[in-house]
Amino acid sequence: MLIVLTSVKGSPGVTTFTVALAANWPATIRRVVVECDPAGGDLGQRFGLARSPGLLSLAAAARQPIEANAVWNHTQLLADGLPVVPGPAGGPQARAALGTLAPAGSPLHRAAREPGVVVFADCGRLDPGSPAEPMIRQADALLLISGTHSDELAHLAARLHELGRVAARSFLVLAGQGHPTKEVEQELGIPVMARIPYDPTAATSLTGHVIPGRARKGGLVRTAVEVARTLAAGGASIGTPGPAVGQHVPGVPPQRVPAYGVRIAPDLHEVGLPGEEVSR
């Protein structure tokens, strides 16, 4: 299974939530976080990881006959034992590696098709023409993470229809301060899967700092658990084009709001508290 997490504007916490989601995924045989951010990775600096193995070494290996355990041979372990393939800090190197690893048939996609395996791809901010775009086309689930300021919603509205049609299943997750969740749902006509709360203590544990175990059970982690359970259960599907519920989003010209809807499982609900931004 391949789960892609991305944003279209700013840094609403994609990397942090990717780690939280993978760490709290229901029991599987294997799971791995792969940093596919074209701007460069953060996990190496956050967790004090070595430069190699990682995305660059995996890309180099992919140019040779593919090994049976190619992805797993290029992982490093976080403190809780979660395997990750860290991306290089430099954007040019990351984009070059993605040119090899993002297309269908690469070791990443082969690993995602193995029984009991879940690959979590942190694609950072997905700009038009991003080398990470092929990951979305192959994804089993796409999580669009967006802030809720007017400018962030404008970028989201402009690309939501496009991205939602490409992925097999698409979900909208909100984060940070700005417009209330219900307002975004009503004006865009799109149900929100969850809202990442302001939880600096839990975010700290997911950005390389060790804190007491109780602090890891805050709202951010609870949101990750809820989203993980829903995705693992397969209880959602991409929507079909339809009329938007509302007329506009503040700061978004009416003609830019896509006529697009997403059908999600009826038991999904907002999790967490709207408030400040979470760290990326």
Q: Percent of the chain having pLDDT more than 90?
A: 52
The Cα 105–Cα 103 span in angstroms is: 6
2-256 has which CATH code?
3.40.50.300
Choose the weakest-confidence range: 85-99, 109-123, 209-223: 209-223
Residue 205, pLDDT score: 59
Mean pLDDT for all residues in the chain: 80
Q: Percent of the chain having pLDDT more than 70?
A: 76
pLDDT tens digits along 115-140: 999 999 999 998 888 999 999 999 99
Question: Would the pTM count as exceeding 0.85?
Answer: no
Residue 245, pLDDT score: 36
Residue 256, pLDDT score: 43
The amino acid that residue 78 corresponds to is: L
Angstrom distances, CA of residue 147 to CA of 29, 78, 132, 226, 266: 33, 27, 21, 19, 24
Q: Which helix (H) or strand (E) holds 119?
A: strand 117-125
The Cα 73–Cα 170 span in angstroms is: 30
Query: In 10 A of CB 128, how many CB atoms?
Result: 9
Residue 273, pLDDT score: 32
DSSP string, 52-100: -SSHHHHHHHHTSSPPTTTTGGG-EE-TTS-EEEPPPSSHHHHHHHHHH
Residue 207, pLDDT score: 60
